[in-house]
Structure 1
Amino acid sequence: MYKFSIIDKVSLILMVLGALNWGLIGLFNFNIIGIIFGEPVNLIGRILYILIGVAGLNMIILFFKTKNSCK
Structure 2
Amino acid sequence: MRVLNCIALTIVIIGAINWGLVGFFNFNLVAFLFGGMSWLSRIIYALVGICGLYLITFYGRLADSRD
Paired position in structure 2 for 1:62: 58
> Is this contact kept in 2: 1:8–1:62, CA < 8 A?
no
- Extract unaligned runs of 5+ from structure 2: none
TM-score w.r.t. length of structure 2: 0.89
Identity between Structure 1 and Structure 2 (%) = 34
Structure 1 residue runs of 4+, over 3 Å off? none
Higher relative contact order (CA 8 A, sep 6+): 1
Could you say which residue in structure 2 is the equivalent of 1:33? 30
* Residue 46 (str. 1) matches residue 52 (str. 2): no
Deviation string, structure 1 residues 14-58 (Cα, Å, up to 9, x no partner): 1110110001001110000001101x2211110110010011011
| Structure 1: runs of 5+ lacking an equivalent | none
Mapped pair 1:8 → 2:13: no
**Larger helix proportion, structure 1 or 2?**
2
Aligned positions, number: 67
CA distance in 2: counterparts of 1:9 and 1:70, whole angstroms: 21
Q: Provide the rounded CA distance (Å) in 1 between the counterparts of 2:6 and 2:62.
A: 14
TM-score (norm 1): 0.85
